[in-house]
Chains A and B, each alone.
Chain A
Amino acid sequence: MIWSITQQLSSRYVLLLHLRYDVYDTVNPAIFYRGARINLDNEGLLSPPTTPATSFPIDARLLLFLTSDIGDEDPSGVLHDGILEVEHDEKNSSNVPVIVKLAFTDEQQENLVQEWSVHMHMLSESVTGIQTVLGVFHEDDDEGPSCLVSYCTGTSLAERKLSLLPNQRYVFSIYYFSTPVA
């Protein structure tokens, strides 16, 4: 089923993003297009008019609902949990839990493009055991964010550590925090 959905995802070029967490419950989605924002030096250009979300055909669009802000941040953006809805027709759809990295600043967006290119390189080299990236998208607005959408990858060892017994956590911490990080 996942493979079938992945196949359908690759041909859809519009991502309609809703916020559904904390105080957010958006009615009108932000519109993202598939692909990286290549030209970041576009100050002074006028943004195109916003297109109504319903004008995109079902087989061209993906619906993304961000459900929480994970809070983790790295050089290429801020991580969120989300649900990706893939519509098959007007009545049927599939939901896929995803991780979404939103890049806001120019620097984050450049790093996001770099991260995407690393994934494409690893895909071409048949690297195994890495998270599956579903695509990179950029907002319609010239100064808007970009995002990288990946399948949920399970439970991190950091989350599992939180569920350790106190004596196990103590032993673990000694090893982990005494290890110099390059």
Chain B
Amino acid sequence: MNSFCRASFLANLRSIHNAGVLHGDVGLHSLFIKDSDEAIIANFGRARVVDTTEDELKAEYQLMCILLDSIP
């Protein structure tokens, strides 16, 4: 994965978190790359807006970092 895509995924997740939304299902099946190298986050079937805590958002962000770092 190139650095541009990695940064885009993290920026997108931060944008989601800034709206107070916990995705709840961050995984390879929820992260998409379009032909133009545009990073897209999908699958919000487990997402929630209410009762999210800073710790949950932080943990989800860290999980995303680990996932992205593990991709060759």
Contacts and interface: CB of A to CB of B under 8 A. Distances in A.
Interface in A17-74: 72, 74
Given A155-B33, A160-B33, A121 B19 contact: yes
A127 B15 CA distance: 5
Interface residues of A, number: 40
Q: Which of A131, A156, A171, A179 has the most CB of B within 10 A?
A: A156
B45 A171 contact: no
Contacts of B72: 164, 168, 171-172
A156 B12 contact: no
Contacts of B20: 121, 125
B45 to A, nearest CB: 4
A80 interface: no
Interface of A: 72, 74-77, 99, 101, 111, 114-115, 117-119, 121-122, 125, 127-131, 150, 153-158, 160-161, 164, 168, 171-172, 174-176, 179, 181-182
